Amino acid sequence: MGRKLRFPDRSWYASGVLLSPQSIGMVHDPEVCGVVRNIMAEAEAVATKLGMKLPVSIDQRIAGAEKVGQHKTSMLQDLEGGRRMEIEAIISAVVELGERLGVPLPHTKTVYASPRLLDQISRDQTSTGVTTK
């Protein structure tokens, strides 16, 4: 029995913070969807290197996101609500595994680093009471 790895869909969470205020925008905008597709492909490469087969294809994941319709990702809701985003839990495993396995992750690392900075800025503003709005 093969193991299942379900982390490509995690790219929606972080991408939603950076690329589109509504999840459906990531499906309908060709450039944004291309970025998300690249992130999913990188995660799939990590899974393949680990000898795992993903249970759902990238196209199926994107189609599934389209069926869900317009909504804000949980990570975007966290940012807007001043809560700590779950960046480490959602994305860091893919980055760490990719680095250990020598799998290039240029898109994933970009979408990993950027929300981390937004999260840090948000936490700093919350702790000091100073905002840039």
Burial label for 1, CB within 10 Å (0-12, 13-18, 19+), is exposed
Q: What is the pLDDT of residues 97-113, one digit of tens each?
A: 999 999 999 998 988 87
H or E stretch at 29 = none
Whole-number average pLDDT of the chain: 77
The pLDDT value recorded for residue 104 is: 97
pLDDT band of residue 20 (cuts 50, 70, 90) is: low
Residue 27: CB partners within 8 Å, gap ≥ 6? 33, 62, 65, 66
The pLDDT value recorded for residue 129 is: 64
* All domains of the chain in start order, with CATH: 8-127 (1.10.1040.10)
Instruction: Please determine, for residue 87, whether its predicted confidence score (pLDDT) is greater than 80.
Output: no
Query: Whole-model pTM above 0.75?
Result: no
How far, in Å, CA of 128 to CA of 121, rounded? 11
**In 3D, which of 42, 12, 43 has the Cα closest to residue 115?**
12
